[in-house]
Amino acid sequence: MLTPSTEREELNVNLVRIGLIGTGGMAKWHAKRFKEIKGARLTACCDIVPGRAEEFARKHGIPAAYTSLEEMLDREPLDGVSVVTPDHAHAGAALAAIRRGLHVMCEKPLADNLQDAKKMYRAARKAGVLTAVNFSYRNAPATQRAAELVAQGRVGRVLHVEGCYLQSWLVGKYWGDWRQAEGFLWRLSVRHGSLGVLGDIGVHLYDLVDFVVGPFGVLNCDLPVFKKDPPRVGRYVFDANDSMLTTVRFCNGAHGVLHASRWATGHANTVALRVYGDRGALDLNLDRPAEGALRMCAGRDVDACRWQSVACLPVPDTYQRFVTSIRTGRQGQTSFEGAVRIQAYLECSMAAARKGGWVPVRA
């Protein structure tokens, strides 16, 4: 363990001090983004793998590192934490921080089951702490603008929706070799708390669609586990779903088809959504450069089937929103409450896949 950060740093009352829980692959982005936010600082980090947090701390200039979360929370004067562990460990880490009155930003999905997600939400509400969930794609300027346009009725009554989230790391090595790295292996294994492609990237798509179109009413879902070579590596048995096809009836009467896969050759990380209303349509594709990420066909363009790019203003991301909410004391756009609804969609998707039929959404 390095020295606790207070012993080296003068107390700055305006500084928002964040502790990072989990220092694996995604933690790099948390370190980068919190470093870029003026007045926020990662003052400590922890990871259960001995030496990993220390190495991460050295690399990213974080003053203190721990292998024990409890020790970090006991010793470090923090305002909030960011939970970046594998999904199954989100609940334990977040609840430990909430017990100490700390604000919590958590990676998606909020938990690996609905019961834990609700427990986290209720504990945060009871403790009066602020929460955020890193549904990254909701923070794209094009997503925020699309949600505004739908809410303003610019495409009329939404009727038909198609959305996808496509990756190809089970076919190619764009992100690395899935057979070699723990960060891929736990994602393929139910026993390691993974909800498969559904919980890993389907959850982003569900949040994005819920944000732009509105809440889901009933859904049907197919979640196959395609054969892999090899079928296991060490203690990791590859039994988690790796493609997802979901059909949704939204509460507002629209219907949609949403799909996600790790087998989508040629797509490193494609997130796209089309929303068709009775007066126009939106085409969001986060693979395109920011200035062309959102297109609309509406008004006079409808008859000509002509699409025009829509200008989108920059928006804060989850990291900025979390720091702002700690500074102002006001809950930001994503919260544990909203994430419980998304967790319910995951639970319903699994129930529908087991049943082979439609399931009503109940949070």
Ligand X SMILES: NC(=O)c1ccc[n+]([C@@H]2O[C@H](COP(=O)([O-])OP(=O)(O)OC[C@H]3O[C@@H](n4cnc5c(N)ncnc54)[C@H](O)[C@@H]3O)[C@@H](O)[C@H]2O)c1
Q: Show the binding pattern over residues 166-205: x = contacts ligand X (CB under 6 A), - = does not.
A: ----------------xx--x-------------x-----
Q: Please pick, from the candidates 5, 18, 20, 23, the single residue that binds ligand X as defined by CB under 6 A.
A: 23
Q: Please pick, from the candidates 54, 76, 87, 283, the single residue that binds ligand X as defined by CB under 6 A.
A: 87
- Under rule CB under 6 A, which residues in 135-164 are in contact with ligand X? 136
Size of the site for ligand X (CB under 6 A): 27
Q: Please pick, from the candidates 20, 45, 73, 89, the single residue that binds ligand X as defined by CB under 6 A.
A: 89
Give the number of C-alpha atoms closer than 13 A to the C-alpha of residue 175, restricted to the C-beta side.
Answer: 19
- For the chain, the three-class secondary structure string (H helix, E strand, C coil) is CCCCHHHCCCCCCCCEEEEEECCCCCHHHHHHHHHHCCCEEEEEEECCCCCHHHHHHHHHCCCEEECCHHHHHHHCCCCEEEECCCHHHHHHHHHHHHHCCCEEEECCCCCCCHHHHHHHHHHHHHHCCCEEECCHHHHCHHHHHHHHHHHCCCCCCEEEEEEEEECCCCCCCCCCCCCCCHHHHHHHCHHHCCCHHHHHHHHHHHHHHHHHCCCEEEEEEECCCCCCCCCEECCEECCCCCEEEEEEEECCCCEEEEEEECCCCCCCCEEEEEEEECCEEEEEECCCCHHHCEEEEECCHHHHCCCEECCCCCCCCHHHHHHHHHHHCCCCCCCHHHHHHHHHHHHHHHHHHHHCCCEECCC
Sign for the CA dihedral angle at 120, 126, 127, 132 comes to positive
Q: Does residue 86 belong to the site contacting ligand X (CB under 6 A)?
A: yes
Please report how close the Cβ of residue 40 comes to ligand X at its closest, in angstroms. 18
Please report how close the Cβ of residue 86 comes to ligand X at its closest, in angstroms. 5
Please report how close the Cβ of residue 165 comes to ligand X at its closest, in angstroms. 10
Q: Please pick, from the candidates 5, 82, 85, 168, the single residue that binds ligand X as defined by CB under 6 A.
A: 85
Please report how close the Cβ of residue 72 comes to ligand X at its closest, in angstroms. 9
Q: Does residue 134 belong to the site contacting ligand X (CB under 6 A)?
A: yes
**Contact range with ligand X by CB under 6 A, out of 44-52, 155-163, 172-180, 275-283:** 44-52
Cα gap 19→13, rounded to integer Å: 16
Q: Which is nearer to ligand X, 50 or 356 (CB)?
A: 50
Q: Which is nearer to ligand X, 47 or 116 (CB)?
A: 47
Please report how close the Cβ of residue 127 comes to ligand X at its closest, in angstroms. 20
Q: Does residue 52 belong to the site contacting ligand X (CB under 6 A)?
A: yes
Q: Please pick, from the candidates 18, 45, 93, 208, the single residue that binds ligand X as defined by CB under 6 A.
A: 93
Q: Show the binding pattern over residues 223-242: x = contacts ligand X (CB under 6 A), - = does not.
A: --------------------
Q: Show the binding pattern over residues 273-302: x = contacts ligand X (CB under 6 A), - = does not.
A: ------------------------------
| Interface residue list for ligand X (CB under 6 A) | 21-27, 46-49, 52, 69, 84-87, 89, 93, 107-108, 134, 136, 182-183, 186, 200
